[in-house]
Chain A
Amino acid sequence: MKPTNIQDPEYFHKVVDCQLACPAHTPVPEYIRLIAAERYTEAYMVNWESNVFPGILGRTCDRPCEPACRRGRLEGEEEPVAICRLKRVAADNKGAVKHLMPQGPFAANGKKIALIGGGPASLTVARDLAPLGYELHLYDEWNKGGGMMRTQIPAFRLPETVLDEEVNYILDLGIHTHFNTYVSSMRDMLAKDYDAIFVGTGAPKGRDLQLPGREAADANIHIGIEWLAGVAFEHITAVGKKVIVLGGGNTAMDCCRTSRRLGGTSVQVVVRSPFEDMKASPWEIQDAKREDIPILNNMPPKEFVVENGRLKGVVFGKVRAEYDENGKRSLLPTGEPDVFIEADDVIIAIGQDNSFPWIERDLGLALGKWDLPVVDKKTFQSTLPQVFFGGDAAFGPENVITAVAHGHQAAISIDLFCQGDDILNDRPGPTTNLISQKMGIHEWIYDSGVTNDDRYAVPHEGKEKALSNRKVEVELGFDTQLGFKEAQRCLNCDVQTVFNTSRCIECDACVDICPTSCITFTTNGEEEDLRQRLNAPATNLSQDLYVSDVLPTMRVMIKDEDVCLHCGLCAERCPTAAWDMQKFLYQVTKAGHTCSNLVE
Chain B
Amino acid sequence: MSYLRPSFRHPLLPKNELGFTRADYEGAISTLCAGCGHDSISGAIVQACFEMALEPHRVAKLSGIGCSSKTPTYYLSHSHGFNTVHGRMPSVATGAYLANRELIYLGVSGDGDTASIGMGQFVHAIRRNLNIVYIVMNNGCYGLTKGQHSATADAGSKTKDGGLNPFEAIDLVGLALELGATFVGRSFSGDKTQLVPLIQAAMTHPGFAFIDVLSPCVTFNNKPDSTKSYDYVRAHIEATATIDFVPEKKEILVDYAEGDAREVKLHDGSMIHLRKLAPNWDPRSRTSAMNRLHDAKSRGEILTGLLYIDQDSQDLHELEQTVARPLNSLQEADLCPGSGVLAGINAKFR
User: Does residue A190 face the partner (Cβ distance < 8 Å to B)?
Assistant: no
B5–A572 touching, CB < 8 Å: no
Q: How many A-B residue pairs have CB under 8 A?
A: 110
Decide: B5 and A563 in contact? CB cutoff 8 A.
no
Contact A572 B1 (CB under 8 A): yes
A74 within 8 A of partner (CB): yes
Is A512 a contact of B40 with CB atoms below 8 Å? yes
Chain B interface main SS type: loop
- The contact of A569 among B2, B14, B190, by CB within 8 Å, is B2
* A-contacting residues, B1-48, CB 8 Å: 1-2, 4-14, 22, 29-30, 33-37, 39-40, 42-43
A513 close to B30 (CB less than 8 A) = yes
Which residues on A sit within 8 Å (CB–CB) of B43?
Answer: 508, 511-512
Per the bound structure, the CA–CA distance linking A78 and B35 in Å amounts to 32
Query: B230–A505 contact, CB under 8 A?
Result: yes
Whether, in the assembled complex, A537 has its beta carbon less than 8 Å from a beta carbon of chain B, the answer is yes
Q: How many of B's residues come within 8 Å of A, CB to CB?
A: 34
User: Is there contact, CB below 8 Å, between A450 and B35?
Assistant: no
A553 at interface by CB-CB < 8 Å? yes
Tell me whether A101 is interfacial, beta carbon within 8 Å.
no
Interface: A480 (CB within 8 A)? no
- Looking at the assembled complex, report how far the CB atom of A541 sits from the nearest CB atom of chain B, in whole angstroms: 13
B35/A507 in contact, CB under 8 A: yes
In the complex, are the beta carbons of B40 and A75 less than 8 A apart?
no
Residue on B nearest A518 in the bound complex, by CB: B10
Shortest Cβ distance from A521 into chain B, in angstroms? 9
Tell which of B14, B34, B190 has the most Cβ of chain A within 10 Å.
B34
Task: Say yes or no for A458: interface residue by CB 8 A criterion.
Answer: no
Known pairs A75-B8, A75-B10, A512-B42; A507 contacts B216 (CB<8 A): yes
Complex Cα–Cα for A10 and B192 (A): 35
Verify B36–A509 contact, CB threshold 8 A.
yes
Which residue in B6, B13, B190, B231 is a CB contact (below 8 Å) of A508? B190
Q: Is the CB of A569 within 8 A of B35?
A: no
Q: Is the CB of B234 within 8 A of A509?
A: no
- Separation of A100 and B65 alpha carbons in the complex (Å): 60
Pair B12/A507 contact, Cβ less than 8 Å: no
Interface of A toward B, CB cutoff 8 Å: 73-76, 78, 441-443, 448-450, 452, 505-509, 511-513, 515-518, 536-537, 539, 552-553, 563, 565, 567-569, 572-576
B interface residues (Cβ-Cβ under 8 A, vs A): 1-2, 4-14, 22, 29-30, 33-37, 39-40, 42-43, 189-190, 192, 216, 218, 222, 230-231, 234
Selected A-B contacts with CB under 8 Å, 26 pairs: A74-B8, A75-B8, A443-B1, A450-B6, A505-B222, A506-B234, A507-B35, A507-B37, A507-B230, A508-B40, A508-B189, A515-B9, A517-B10, A536-B13, A565-B6, A565-B8, A567-B2, A567-B5, A567-B6, A568-B2, A572-B1, A572-B2, A573-B30, A573-B35, A574-B34, A575-B218
Q: Which 5 A-B pairs have the closest CB atoms?
A: A575-B35, A450-B6, A512-B43, A442-B1, A536-B10
